[in-house]
Amino acid sequence: QLLEPPEPSFPPPPPPSAPVSDWNTPQTEGGDWNNDAWNSHGSESWDQEPPHAPDYTNHNNAGGVNNQGFRGGGMQQQASEEGWDDDWDDENEDNSSNSTTNTSQDQLPGSGNFGLSAPKREKKQMTQNSDFSKYGTVKKSFNRFSTFAKTGGDAFLMGTVSANVSESDLIKIIDTQDGPAWNYPSQPYTCAIKSPKKESKLKGLKSYIAYQLTPSFSNIQVSRRYKHFDWLHERLEAKFTCIPIPPLPDKALSGRYEDDFVSERMRQLQLWVDRMVRHPVISQSEVFNHFLTCTDEKKWKAGKRKAEKDEYQGGKFFLTLQTPPTSLDMRDVEKRMEIFCRFVKGMDDNMRNMLQIGHDSRKKHTGPYKREFQKIGGSFKQLAETFNLDSAAHSQNLTAAIDYTGDTYNEIGDMYEKQPREDLDYMLEVLFEYKGMLSTYPDVLKLHEGAIGKAKECERLKDEGRMPESDVAAVIQRADVISFGTLAEMNHFQRERVADYKDMMQKFLHGQIKFYRDITQKLESALQKYENA
Amino acid sequence: QLLEPPEPSFPPPPPPSAPVSDWNTPQTEGGDWNNDAWNSHGSESWDQEPPHAPDYTNHNNAGGVNNQGFRGGGMQQQASEEGWDDDWDDENEDNSSNSTTNTSQDQLPGSGNFGLSAPKREKKQMTQNSDFSKYGTVKKSFNRFSTFAKTGGDAFLMGTVSANVSESDLIKIIDTQDGPAWNYPSQPYTCAIKSPKKESKLKGLKSYIAYQLTPSFSNIQVSRRYKHFDWLHERLEAKFTCIPIPPLPDKALSGRYEDDFVSERMRQLQLWVDRMVRHPVISQSEVFNHFLTCTDEKKWKAGKRKAEKDEYQGGKFFLTLQTPPTSLDMRDVEKRMEIFCRFVKGMDDNMRNMLQIGHDSRKKHTGPYKREFQKIGGSFKQLAETFNLDSAAHSQNLTAAIDYTGDTYNEIGDMYEKQPREDLDYMLEVLFEYKGMLSTYPDVLKLHEGAIGKAKECERLKDEGRMPESDVAAVIQRADVISFGTLAEMNHFQRERVADYKDMMQKFLHGQIKFYRDITQKLESALQKYENA
């Protein structure tokens, strides 16, 4: 019994409108795009078309494979209305364990699929890798490619949609020495999540946890449930086409009301909100603002409906981008994208590898390392016990010193057991968060690849005299907009990445240094005991 | 082909002389004496006799089991003369690998037999426990009980031998607050072993290593071969009945001329000589002095012959002990012996346990610990390699810092590999030396136990009116002499033990402290790299 059922919440597909309808372009020469790790989504529809055979007919559905994650199909508007009460009111969350069952392959190190093989809600793996699962699993509930196409990506690129975007809706991209970047807000803010409360409805038949969110700019507390986060997450994915949205922590199957779970879940939601609040585009968006501030049920419904009908989501999001006046060199952009693609793939591998090593290391600390020191400690204690049979005065001090040394090694063993909480666990958390974020990037990169491929196709048509030069120039200019957005987001990702990994490494090393310094001090005080022995 | 054949070197057995001839007394009530670890030698002949059935008939051979280690039997005097040339001159040592083959069970941790099951020369175990075998194996070439009986132990106790021991041959035992103790020489000395040289005879057909020994009191260098140490060792065991003589390093089977082996062997011989030189009785003895000083071949032969004919060896050694005027309480002595027996057994167990743990720990340092740190180091290096794909200036410092951190963890892995040489190995050496020494103690304790048992038997005979009171008092007084000697040696053992283990623990902890301090410093310099990242 699915308790938070997928809420179909897409606007209806745009009417057929343009001769170029789909992203069925041949692969670019961009190196790594076509390997296994990147093939799970979308590429089939691209690959199935013969190269150099542009398809001017319109078909909105971009191929069966892209439909996997699409929930609701043509009924979404209606379902969204119907889903409302279901959303704000309640179903019994305790029965949610029978939700869609997908194996979360992306949890297994080395599978290299970026989580793309499991587009629907993933079941938390409780049987293996249980140490990983405390961080939740990657949520893949959304097929971006499909949405992008359906919501007018092709129409945007081919120039068949236009809009007078109001000043307040414009999102500014600026040139920096590191390339295009979002214009960072002058007044960043924060949002604290606190006081999780178990609440119930229908005379206790239905219960859930409500978290209290307080944004720093308003200082007014709002109450939100996991399902509201889930709704927000889907909205963000639908709207911000070139922005990978980090997955939410996974939904729990059992123990969801236990204190440990609730506080851990809250901490993970805090991490997610922190990242969204730091994002220069998302943090300023209407939908996010609505989520952070709305306290009135009626207004919530209205805002929710408005967000779901947002004119500038999906493909049309690019209409709102205000790019620098410069134009981009398409080959240069492709080169940058190729490098970034290698970066994302490499970093994804790094994350899996480091998570595995860290996970093993944590086990070793609580098991073999601890035991090894306690074996040594125990042997010193036993030796002292034997030496204690010699009652001569000159022997007693040595015996006591050796006994103390035994205690010292036992305590060092305990220190090893506790140490992962002091350094490793924070590192694992960051690694896991990035593994989740990286898993959402290939979709964004594929969209951009599709746009570039389409633009190049148009150039070829121009060369063959089959498309007017001015039309092609406009297509390329609009492809630039998509590139600008994608590059600005890459820039943001790298900024965050540098800050996060600097912080992570510093915290880890601080913890390690304190650990070895504490061991040293313990051993020094053991050594002192021998001075009078 | 045995190249250094056992040299039968006992004086002929004393003539039948006394009504009480053998140590076939029932077990004392002293607790642990009769368990497996202590039963390998002698106990059979004691146990086979029914309790309370003293045997007044004389039989010199104290039972078949005690004959195991007896080499040469009645022919010893003659063999000693014949063996002379063989000893000073040469056999081809390279052929010595076919010597008596006994498995050295005492090398295996936990066998708990104190090495007593292998009384003859032991073959070095090359196939397993090879890390232990570098310290050599325990040499058990001598059956003390048999020798003691044959050389007049019973005669001494029963008062059928007496001698006017000259002042210079007297060995003084004094009373201290920790009980009877040897009178320590006012001028201790040292003896350095240096410059091992490969020498050969018979036009190179026979070769051996000669070590150069220089005692501090003479500063005159003497040249000695392993076989000379072996001869000395046997003499010391024969003479100093209540003093356990530490085993020599084991004879090598192969690679005996390789530099590493030669210097390691020399170091072990140095440890052995150090311990002998520190011994208040051995260091002052004529035979040891002969070994340390004789440079003339003729004089060597004469001194050797004299030592082998020593009037005061075996049982008669006790004639030379000058004890304090006090008499001992036999029950109190038994109590002390029982505790010391538990001490020796416990410490033997400790040594085996600690050797095992230390051996495992050494392996872990060079294997899994090193690999673990290098896995972590490698993962940081790989992460840096990925991050290096981002050429933005603000990213480069972090990338370099992470790369440096990777190097740091790799280096820490190398430190783990090298560390055992800095702390563990010295500890293992001490543990191993003591394991060898402890393996020689049960024989000494059994002799004492036999003497006490015999004295108690005489008391019982007195109570039954079967032995005159004055005779019994004399037996008890002579049993006291044996107790004084044994207690004085126990006192010496404990002094050495306290000094050795204090030194061992301090060295070990110093090494450990330096190790963890070095790790801390390495991590601190890695952390510094993030300051400008």
- What is the 3-class SS of A359-420, one letter each residue? HHHHHHHHHHHHHHHHHHHHHHHHHHHHHCCCCCHHHHHHHHHHHHHHHHHHHHHHHHHHHH
* Interval A187-230: pLDDT, tens: 999 999 998 888 887 777 788 899 999 999 999 999 999 999 99
Rounded Cα distance between B478 and B457, Å, is: 14
Question: Chain B: residue nearest A491 by CA?
Answer: B392
Residue type, B510: H
The larger pLDDT score, comparing residue B5 to residue A210, is at A210
B390 touches A: beta carbon within 8 Å: yes
Question: Chain B: residue nearest A389 by CA?
Answer: B343
How would DSSP label each residue in B388-425? TT---HHHHHHHHHHHHHHHHHHHHHHHHHHGGGTTHH
The larger pLDDT score, comparing residue B27 to residue B361, is at B361
* Interval B452-462: pLDDT, tens: 988 999 999 99
Q: Collect all residues of chain A within an 8 Å Cβ-Cβ radius of residue B527.
A: 506, 509-510, 513
Say whether A372 and B354 touch across the interface (CB within 8 A): no
pTM of the predicted structure, to 2 decimals: 0.76
Name the 3-class secondary structure at A495: helix
Angle at which helix A393-418 crosses helix A370-387, to 10 degrees, equals 170
How close does chain B come to A404, measured CA to CA in Å?
12
Q: Collect all residues of chain B within an 8 Å Cβ-Cβ radius of residue A517.
A: 516, 520
Rounded Cα distance between B433 and B429, Å, is: 6
Residue among B177, B386, B401 minimizing CB distance to A343: B386
Q: Collect all residues of chain B within an 8 Å Cβ-Cβ radius of residue A519.
A: 516
A517 touches B: beta carbon within 8 Å: yes
What are residue A175's DSSP bridge partners? A180
* Interval B51-77: pLDDT, tens: 333 333 333 333 333 333 323 333 333
The larger pLDDT score, comparing residue B306 to residue B111, is at B306
Which 13-72 residues of chain A touch chain B by CB within 8 A? Answer: none
What are residue A203's DSSP bridge partners? none
For residue B22, the model assigns a pLDDT of 37
What are residue B182's DSSP bridge partners? B173
Count, in order, helices (H) and strands (E) of chain B. 15, 6
Say whether B395 and A498 touch across the interface (CB within 8 A): yes
Residue from B343, B391, B399, B498 to probe the interface with A (highest A Cβ count within 10 Å): B498
How close does chain B come to A56, measured CA to CA in Å?
38
Average pLDDT on A150-174 reads 84
Question: Chain B: residue nearest A354 by CA?
Answer: B379
For residue A49, the model assigns a pLDDT of 33
Say whether A520 and B517 touch across the interface (CB within 8 A): yes
Residue A30 has pLDDT above 90, yes or no: no
How would DSSP label each residue in B67-113? GTT--SGGGHHHHHHHHHHHHHS---GGGGGGS-----GGGSTT--S
Average pLDDT on A51-72 reads 34
Residue among B512, B520, B527 minimizing CB distance to A517: B520
For residue A261, the model assigns a pLDDT of 83
Which 162-181 residues of chain A touch chain B by CB within 8 A? Answer: 177-178
Residue among A339, A512, A526 minimizing CB distance to B509: A526
Please, is A388 exposed, middle or buried when counting C-beta atoms within 10 Å of its C-beta (0-12, 13-18, 19+)? middle
Residue B299 makes CB contacts below 8 A (sequence gap 6+) with none
Sequence spans of domains, chain A: 31-358+427-509
The answer to whether the beta carbons of residues A437 and A347 sit under 8 Å apart is no
For residue B159, the model assigns a pLDDT of 86
Say whether B520 and A523 touch across the interface (CB within 8 A): no
A502 touches B: beta carbon within 8 Å: yes
A394 touches B: beta carbon within 8 Å: yes
Task: Work out the percent of chain B whose per-residue pLDDT is above 70.
Answer: 70
Residue B367 has pLDDT above 80, yes or no: yes
Residue from A519, A521, A528, A532 to probe the interface with B (highest B Cβ count within 10 Å): A519
Residue A518 has pLDDT above 50, yes or no: yes
Say whether A357 and B343 touch across the interface (CB within 8 A): no
Residue among A375, A387, A497 minimizing CB distance to B357: A375
Rounded Cα distance between A86 and A169, Å, is: 30
A392 touches B: beta carbon within 8 Å: yes
How close does chain A come to B389, measured CA to CA in Å?
6
Residue A21 has pLDDT above 50, yes or no: no
In the numeric block, the tokens 């709704």 are attached to A231
B342 touches A: beta carbon within 8 Å: yes
A354 touches B: beta carbon within 8 Å: yes
* Interval B157-195: pLDDT, tens: 888 887 788 888 899 999 999 899 999 999 999 999 998
For residue B204, the model assigns a pLDDT of 75
Residue B10 has pLDDT above 50, yes or no: no
The DSSP call for residue B365 is I
The answer to whether the beta carbons of residues B321 and B171 sit under 8 Å apart is yes
Residue B34 has pLDDT above 60, yes or no: no
Say whether A513 and B530 touch across the interface (CB within 8 A): no
Say whether B509 and A527 touch across the interface (CB within 8 A): yes
